[in-house]
Amino acid sequence: TQKTAFSGDARRGLRQIRNLVAIASGKGGVGKSTTTINLALALQQEGARVGILDADIYGPSIPIMLGNPDQQPGTEDNKHMQPLEAHGLVANSIGYLVPADDAAIWRGPMASKALQQLLNETLWPELDYLLIDMPPGTGDIQLTLAQQVPVSGTVVVTTPQNIALADAQKAIAMFNKVHVPVLGVIENMSYHQCSQCGYKEHLFAQGGGERISKQHQVSLLGQIPLDIHIREYTDLGKSLISEQGDSPISRAYGHAARAL
């Protein structure tokens, strides 16, 4: 087999993961998975070894966004899984294990168990960061995370729109209540800049990320534009950060990665 940055020292357990960071959102569709992938790639660009655990049990997007939805993690003992590799990241997702056209209709305890299994039964290599792409909201999986997973903290993704901010505030309040540090907020879809004339438009309103960051005394880690390349690269499972080189977008993700 090919030798990669990750081969060699995979042992069971989470001891060799330095920082477990949950990427959360109050509302669905605000770009949490997109942010997870690009933040992972930006951290890697900074020299970190990074993995992704897709815990969005009800809508796992990571396999498509990494461009390997048809692969499956290998196993030697039918219990432990070898994470998949893409763009130099390692990843595991319920999406690799359940057929794409099959809906996961699970009660809370089962969904929480799935998170624990993906976490504990994947042979994670030595990592500086494992980013956990959480399902949206403030339900059972978030509580499991808070009570049973040694997370360093959580990043809350929101758009600047009021209905998204209201749910982001609920998520921050919940993490505060269960003593999971909120490392910061990433405002996604902050603005759109016309590729023809350069005009900048705040489609989902302006200043919301800054407002809730100040209100809850957490950092605003980044403001990411609504941009066709972000959508295209993630739809195709390609790495925008390494393929596009230096751009305002990769700088915005780089800024967020360094602020983590």
- Least Å distance, CB 220 to ligand ADP, is 16
Q: Which is nearer to ligand ADP, 32 or 238 (CB)?
A: 32
Nearest to 160 by CA among 98, 211, 118: 211
> How far is residue 122 CA from its own chain's centroid?
17
Q: Which is nearer to ligand ADP, 149 or 156 (CB)?
A: 156
Distance of alpha carbon 149 from alpha carbon 130, whole angstroms: 12
Q: Which is nearer to ligand ADP, 42 or 123 (CB)?
A: 42
- Least Å distance, CB 203 to ligand ADP, is 10
- Least Å distance, CB 67 to ligand ADP, is 13
Q: Which residues bind ligand ADP (CB under 6 A)?
A: 25, 28-34, 61, 188-189, 224, 226-227, 230-231, 234
- Does the annotation list 177 as a binding residue? no
Coil/strand/helix, residue 188: strand
Q: Which is nearer to ligand ADP, 44 or 188 (CB)?
A: 188
Q: Which is nearer to ligand ADP, 82 or 154 (CB)?
A: 154
- Least Å distance, CB 22 to ligand ADP, is 13
> How far is residue 62 CA from its own chain's centroid?
9
- Does the annotation list 28 as a binding residue? yes
Q: What is the CA radius of gyration of the chain?
A: 17
Closest residue to ligand ADP, judged by C-beta, is 31
- As given in the structure block, the two tokens for residue 132 are 């956990």
- Does the annotation list 31 as a binding residue? yes
Distance of alpha carbon 218 from alpha carbon 19, whole angstroms: 18
Distance of alpha carbon 83 from alpha carbon 161, whole angstroms: 36
- Least Å distance, CB 161 to ligand ADP, is 13
- As given in the structure block, the two tokens for residue 228 are 């066709």
Handedness of CA 184, 116, 111, 29 (dihedral sign): positive
Specify binding-site residues for ATP: 26-33
